[in-house]
Amino acid sequence: MASIGNWSFIPLVSAFPTTVFPNIALWNVTNAVTDLTYQIEISWPFEWGSSPPEDVSNKTALTMYVVDGNALGMTASEGFKRRKPVASTQPDSVVVSIGYPLTDNVYALNRRVTDFRPPLPTPQVPPSGADPFIEFIDGALRPWVRSTVFPGVSFMRDALYGHSFGGLFVIYALISHPSMFDTFLSASPAITWNNGSIRDDVSSFSKLGNHGKKKCHDFKLGKGKSLTSQPAFVVSYGTLEQFPVKRRTETEEEYEARKAFYAPFKMTDYCKDLYRRLKGSCELRDVVLKEYAGQDHSSVGASALNDGIEYFVDW
Ligand SMILES: *[C@@H]1O[C@H](CO)[C@@H](O)[C@H](O)[C@H]1NC(C)=O
Ligand SMILES: *[C@@H]1O[C@H](CO)[C@@H](O)[C@H](O)[C@H]1NC(C)=O
Ligand SMILES: *[C@@H]1O[C@H](CO)[C@@H](O)[C@H](O)[C@H]1NC(C)=O
């Protein structure tokens, strides 16, 4: 059993039958002080063979970290595998999904609301857990993946993907730790949280008022800084989120209730607003706004992840 700081990495499923999942394993990652447990799922390329992955040597890999791993980890793993036959030059890629033990579903749902919640100047209920969560990923999880799970692999670029409240977390990670990931993928983010206050923080980060696009290039070249040393950012949303269409099977009341639920998210408006605040910023090498016509909050989670893989790999 490996440990880093207060975190212990306890094998949960070391190997599935190799005829089922030859390249997926799970761990309980538990903090001895806080008693918090994450359920971490890691998948690696078929070409690396079945477990233990420690045997892999002389490889290089991209890594995608996915929050809400219980809901999206398999989508990410399958996305990389499905893409390989249509993109034969795809680099080897590892998926690290960060989820929660499902022994107590309520606990898991509550926990994400803490982990993804950005800090505010005044205390909140539930408390903000985004900074400790970032510290866990950067200070314990990633070092363990690199040095213990795959000691024979040279790791290249990393991406972070999150959907919904996890999408808000990705925005917070970008503006608070822009050099932590190469690519930040935020799908249907809950920008509406705290009356959209993250938008002002995004503007402070992007410093668009300080230097326009042209000046930004001069500034960068003047400092001898490569344009591609900055992270890339994608924000995605579905048109049905802000503008739902009545389902065949829905009553008028159910439709009105659903519209009322989604209205405060103002998903189209807020995502476009976010894009305007970042486009042209010197702090990013690329910003993409991606709209999914006819998709709702749930389906964007999978579409943006698959397209996010394409975007992340293609640099
Ligand atoms: C994993 O963590 C959960 C939640 O703390 C616990 O119920 C379970 O027994 C743990 N499994 C192992 C193998 O440690
Ligand atoms: C890995 O590369 C080193 C140096 O090139 C070589 O000596 C070693 O045999 C390689 N290992 C494997 C398993 O290919
Ligand atoms: C929410 O933000 C808007 C501006 O974006 C502001 O006009 C409004 O007063 C704010 N509401 C609350 C409750 O803070």
Residue 108: is its pLDDT beyond 80?
no
Confidence of residue 52 (pLDDT cuts 50, 70, 90): low
**In 3-state terms, what secondary structure has residue 136?**
helix
Closest-approaching ligand to the CA atom of 194: 3
pLDDT of residue 54: 67
Token pair in block for residue 236? 């995605």
Question: Ligand 1 pocket: which of 3, 28, 30, 34 to mutate (most atoms <8 Å of CB)?
Answer: 28
pLDDT of residue 50: 82
Structural domain range at position 231 = 2-313
When comparing pLDDT for 208 and 307, which is higher? Answer: 307
When computed from its CA atoms, the radius of gyration of the chain, rounded to whole angstroms, is: 20
**Residue carrying the six token digits 């290089």:** 60
Asked whether 195 lines ligand 3 (CB < 6 A), one says: yes
Of all protein residues, the one whose alpha carbon is nearest to atom 12 of ligand 1 is: 12
Q: What is the total count of domains within the chain?
A: 1
Asked whether 199 lines ligand 3 (CB < 6 A), one says: no
Residue 69 vs residues 19, 77, 211, 258, 278: alpha-carbon distances, Å: 23, 11, 38, 26, 27
Confidence of residue 217 (pLDDT cuts 50, 70, 90): low
Closest CA to 306 of 175, 185, 195, 158: 185
pLDDT of residue 105: 57
Please write the tens of the pLDDT for every residue from 252-296: 999 999 999 999 999 999 999 999 999 999 899 999 999 999 999
Please write the tens of the pLDDT for every residue from 223-237: 444 556 789 999 999
Of all protein residues, the one whose alpha carbon is nearest to atom 6 of ligand 3 is: 195
**In 3-state terms, what secondary structure has residue 233?**
strand
Looking at the chain, which runs of residues are DSSP E strands? 2-4, 7-13, 24-31, 37-43, 57-67, 93-99, 152-163, 183-187, 232-238, 286-292
pLDDT of residue 102: 82
The number of beta carbons lying within 10 Å of the beta carbon of residue 205 is: 19
pLDDT of residue 224: 47
Asked whether 19 lines ligand 3 (CB < 6 A), one says: no
What CATH number is associated with residue 302? 3.40.50.1820
Within a 13 Å sphere around the CA of 303, how many CA atoms are in the beta-carbon half?
A: 16
C-alpha–C-alpha distance, residues 5 and 287, integer Å? 36
Asked whether 8 lines ligand 1 (CB < 6 A), one says: no
Please write the tens of the pLDDT for every residue from 116-167: 999 999 999 999 999 999 999 999 999 999 999 999 999 999 999 999 999 9
Asked whether 249 lines ligand 2 (CB < 6 A), one says: no
Task: Report, as an integer, the average pLDDT of 240-250.
Answer: 97
Token pair in block for residue 121? 């100047």
Phi-psi category of residue 224: left, alpha or beta, with phi > 0 → left and psi -120 to 50 → alpha: left
Q: Which residues contact 182 (CB under 8 A, 6 or more apart)?
A: 157, 158, 159, 231, 232, 312, 315
Confidence of residue 221 (pLDDT cuts 50, 70, 90): very low
Closest CA to 291 of 254, 239, 220, 256: 239
Closest-approaching ligand to the CA atom of 31: 1
pLDDT of residue 222: 44
Task: Report, as an integer, the average pLDDT of 203-210.
Answer: 86
Of all protein residues, the one whose alpha carbon is nearest to atom 4 of ligand 3 is: 195
Task: Report, as an integer, the average pLDDT of 47-64.
Answer: 85
C-alpha–C-alpha distance, residues 278 and 59, integer Å? 35
Closest-approaching ligand to the CA atom of 49: 2
**Residue carrying the six token digits 């959209």:** 196
Mean pLDDT across the chain: 92
pLDDT of residue 49: 85
Confidence of residue 185 (pLDDT cuts 50, 70, 90): very high
Task: Render 12-43 in DSSP notation, one character per residue.
Answer: EES---TTT-TTEEEEEEEETTT--EEEEEEE
Residue 213: is its pLDDT beyond 90?
no
